Amino acid sequence: MDKFIIKGGKRLEGEVNVSAAKNSVLPILAATILNGNNCTVENTPMLEDVFVICDVLKSLRADINIDKVNKRVKINTANIFANGANDELVRKMRASFLIMGPMLGRFGSFKISLPGGCNIGTRPIDLHLKGLSALGAEVSVGHGYVEAKAKKLIGSNIYLDYPSVGATENIMMAATLAQGETIIGNAAEEPEIVDLAIFLRAMGAKIDGEGTDTIRILGVKDFKEVVHKPIYDRIEAGTFMITAAITKSLIKINGVDEIHSKPIIAKLTEMGVAIEINKNSVIVDGRQKLNPIDLKTMPYPGFPTDMQAQMMSLLCTVKGTSIITETIFENRFMHAVELKRMGANIKIDGRSAVIEGIDTFTGSEVTATDLRAGAALVLAGLTAEGTTAIKDIYHIDRGYVSIEKKLRGLGADIERVHYDK
Ligand code: UD1
C-alpha cells in the first residue's frame, strides 16, 4: 500500500497541466463496444479507473493497446463475446456498468454483475434499467446480476426521473443501434455527456441536443473508425484552483475550459479568489483574504458534487460560517470525519455541513475514504501545520494522474511512501 506524507504550510508557485477527463474517457471506452472498427483515444489519462475499464473490455476479448508514453489507447472490439465480463472487475468500479448499454445494443442481450464503486451512497441503477426497458429490453435483476434481452431495440421516448449521468450515457449508447428515434428527456447535461456524443457522432451515430435536457438519437446500422481527444478534467482543474486558494498561492493551470469550470470559478470568485481566465488556462491568485460562502451541489451546470469535498477543505480555512448542502449523494461527507482529525470544526446535519473556519489544520494521520475525499485531505495537508500522512491513497490514484508529482512541480512537499498494511 502507498500513503502520502505531506509537510504543510508551503507557498506554491508555477504552472500545472490538467489531464483529460476520467469521466469522459470511461464511457467513451465503453462505447467502443458498439464499433467493430479501430477506435483511438488520444491524451488518455493513465489512471487506475481507465485501466479497470480496459481490463473489463479485455475480459470481453477486446483487442487493446495502451501506449502509456504517448497516452494513447487503441481498441478494436470486432471479436468481442456476448458472454459476461469479469465479475470482480465490474464490482471494482461502478462505471463498469456503462458497458451494459453498448453490449445490449450490439448483441441484443447481456448479463452483468451488479456494479460496485465509491463508498458515497447507495447509487441505484434503476434509471439505467428503466431506460433500457423503454427501448424494448426485457430486464431482470437477481442473484447479484442484471440481465437484459431484446430481439430488437426500438427507439423510444424516455423521460428520466432524475438527470443521471450514467443512465443518460447508457441509454444514449444503446439507442445508437436501436431502430428509429430515441428522445431522452430530463437528460444529464454534463460536459462529459457532450464529449461522449461527439465521440459517437465521429464514429457515425446520429445524435443531437447533447448538453441540453433533451437528447435525440436516430439509430444507425453500423459505425466507422474513430480517433478522439477527450475534454480536460474539470474536477482536476477545480482541485488545482483550490490548491492555489488554500495555500494562498499564485498558480497557472493549463487545460481549463472556462465554460465547463464556470460553476467552480463562480463560487471561488464569490469567496474572493482572483481568477484570470485565458484561452484554455487560468491564473488563480489565492493570496487575498477569503469570505465564507454557502453552496449546494447540483447536476451540471450547478456546482459539482465531485468538488464538494475539496471545497469543504478550503472553507475550513476561511474565517466565519459556511454551509455546504449535498443534494446528489446521501452519504458524501465521510471526509468531514477525517478533516476533523486535522482540527476542522464541522457539524453535519443530514445533507448539510456547517463549517466554522479555523486558524489552521494540524497535520495528522488520516485515511482517504473515497476519491474526492482523498483529494480534500491532500489539500488540507498542503496547508496544515506539521506533517500529514494520508493512507489508502489508491482511491486518489483512481482519478488523479500523479497528483504528487504535479504538486511537487508547484513546490509542495509531498512524498509517496510504501507501507505494509
Ligand atoms: C457520475 C460520475 C461521478 C459524479 C456523478 C454525479 C462518472 C464515471 N462518474 O456518476 O463522478 O459524482 O456522475 O455528477 O461519470 N441515481 C439513481 N438511479 C440511477 C442512477 C443514479 O437514483 O439509476 C442517483 C444516484 O444514486 C445519485 C444521483 O442519481 O444520487 C446521481 O447519480 P449519477 O448522475 O447517475 O452519477 P454516476 O453516473 O454514477
Phi-psi region of 63 (alpha: psi -120 to 50; beta: other; left: phi over 0): beta
Look at the block and give the residue holding cell 511537487: 408
Residues 223 and 262 both lie in one domain: no
Could you identify the atom of ligand 1 that is nearest to the CA of residue 169? 38
Q: What's the pLDDT band for 322 if we cut at 50, 70, 90?
A: very high
Residue 408 alpha carbon to ligand 1 centre in Å: 32
Q: How confident is the model at residue 122 (pLDDT cuts 50, 70, 90)?
A: low
Tell whether residue 127 is among the known ligand binding residues: yes
**pLDDT (0 to 100) of residue 233:** 98
Closest atom of ligand 1 to CA, residue 126: 23
Rounded to an integer, the average pLDDT of 141-165 is 95
Torsion of CA 404, 407, 413, 414, to 10 degrees: -20
Q: What percent of the chain lies above the pLDDT cut of 70?
A: 98
What DSSP string runs through 54-112? HHHHHHTT-EEEEETTTTEEEEE-TT--SSPPPHHHHHH-GGGGGGHHHHHHHHSEEEE
- pLDDT category, 235, cuts 50, 70, 90? very high
Asked if residue 161 has its Cβ within 6 Å of ligand 1, the reply is no
Look at residue 120 and tell me whether its pLDDT is greater than 90: no
**Same-domain status, 265 and 280:** yes
Banded model confidence at residue 114, pLDDT cuts 50, 70, 90:
confident
- 234 CB under 6 A from ligand 1? no
Is any ligand 1 atom within 6 A of the Cβ of residue 45? no
The span from the CA of 48 to the CA of 16, in Å, is 21
- Say whether pLDDT at 253 is over 80: yes
Query: What would the pLDDT profile of 276-321 be if each residue is shown by its tens digit?
Result: 999 999 999 999 999 999 999 999 999 999 999 999 999 999 999 9
- Which residues, in sequence order, are CB contacts of 156 under 8 Å at separation 6+? 134, 135, 136, 178, 182, 183
Are residues 200 and 324 located together in one domain of the fold? Answer: no
pLDDT in tens, 53-73: 999 999 999 999 999 999 999
The answer to whether 118 is a known catalytic residue is: yes
Pair 204, 290 in one domain: no
Given ligand 1 and candidates 25, 164, 260, 300, which is best to mutate, with the most ligand atoms within 8 Å of its CB? 164
At residue 299's C-alpha, the angle toward residues 271 and 218, to 5°, is: 145
Q: How far is the CA of 105 from the centre of ligand 1 (A)?
A: 21
- Compute the average pLDDT of residues 248-269: 98
State the Cα–Cα distance between residues 261 and 242, nearest whole angstrom. Answer: 12
Q: Which of 303, 313, 311, 352 is nearest to 330 (CA)?
A: 352
Number of domains present in the structure of the chain: 2
- Residue-number span of the structural domain to which 207 is assigned: 22-228
Is 125 annotated for ligand binding?
yes
pLDDT at 115: 79
Are both 77 and 171 inside the same structural domain?
Answer: yes
Q: Are residues 245 and 384 in the same domain?
A: yes
Q: Ligand 1 centroid to 48 CA: how many Å? A: 19
Listing DSSP states for 262-320 in one string gives HHHHHHHHHHT-EEEEETTEEEEE--S-----EEEB-STTSB-GGGHHHHHHHHHTSSS
**Average model confidence (pLDDT) for the chain?**
96
Domain stop point among 195, 228, 261: 228
- In degrees rounded to 5, what are phi and psi of residue 9? 95, 5
Whether residues 182 and 262 share a domain: the answer is no
Which residue, among 335, 347, 416, has the nearest Cα to 379 in the 3D structure? 335
Share of the chain above pLDDT 90, in %: 92
Closest Cα to atom 29, ligand 1: which residue? 164
Q: Give the Å distance between the CA of 252 and the centre of ligand 1.
A: 31
Can you give the CATH number for the domain in which 325 is found? Answer: 3.65.10.10
Average pLDDT over residues 214-220: 98
Domain co-membership, 8 together with 49: no
Q: Are residues 383 and 242 in the same domain?
A: yes
Q: Which of 172, 201, 228 lies at the terminal end of a domain, its last residue?
A: 228
Decide which of 194, 228, 262 is a domain's last residue.
228
**pTM for this entry:** 0.97
Per-residue pLDDT of 362-403, as tens digits, reads: 999 999 999 999 999 999 999 999 999 999 999 999 999 999
Mean pLDDT of 348-355: 96
Say if residue 195 is in the same domain as residue 288. Answer: no
- Ligand 1 centroid, distance to 191 Cα (angstroms): 14
Interval 8-36 mean pLDDT: 97
14 shares a domain with 122: no
Please tell me the predicted confidence (pLDDT) of residue 116. Answer: 65
Is residue 269 exposed (0-12), middle (13-18) or buried (19+ Cβ within 10 Å)? exposed
242 is in an annotated binding site: no
Predicted local distance difference test score (pLDDT) of residue 370: 93
* 297 contacts 250 by C-beta, under 8 angstroms: no
For residue 23, say whether it is annotated as part of any ligand binding site.
yes
Strands 274-278 and 281-285: antiparallel
Is 408 annotated in a binding site? The answer is no
Residue partners of 41: CB distance under 8 A and separation at least 6: 25, 28, 29, 72, 73, 75, 228, 229, 230
CA–centroid distance, residue 163 to ligand 1 (Å) = 9
Identify which of 25, 26, 264, 328 to mutate to test ligand 1's pocket (most ligand atoms within 8 A of the CB): 328
What would the grid cell of residue 407 be?
Answer: 504538486
Catalytic residue among 39, 54, 118, 316: 118
Ligand 1 pocket: which of 162, 195, 307 to mutate (most atoms <8 Å of CB)?
Answer: 162
| DSSP H or E run through 158 | strand 157-159
Q: Is it the case that residue 33 has pLDDT exceeding 60? A: yes
pLDDT at 80 over 90: yes
| Whether the Cβ atoms of residue 245 and residue 382 lie closer than 8 Å to each other | no
The protein residue with its alpha carbon nearest to ligand 1, atom 1, reads 165
Regarding whether 102 and 8 lie in a shared domain, the answer is no
Ligand 1 contacts CB of residue 121 (under 6 A):
yes
Let me know if 36 is exposed, middle or buried by CB neighbors in 10 A (0-12, 13-18, 19+): middle
The whole-angstrom separation of Cα 361 and Cα 25 is 35
354 alpha-carbon distance from chain centroid: 25
Ligand 1 atom at minimal distance to the Cα of residue 117: 39
Predicted pLDDT of residue 117: 52
- CB of 236 within 6 A of ligand 1: the answer is no
For residue 119, pLDDT beyond 60: no
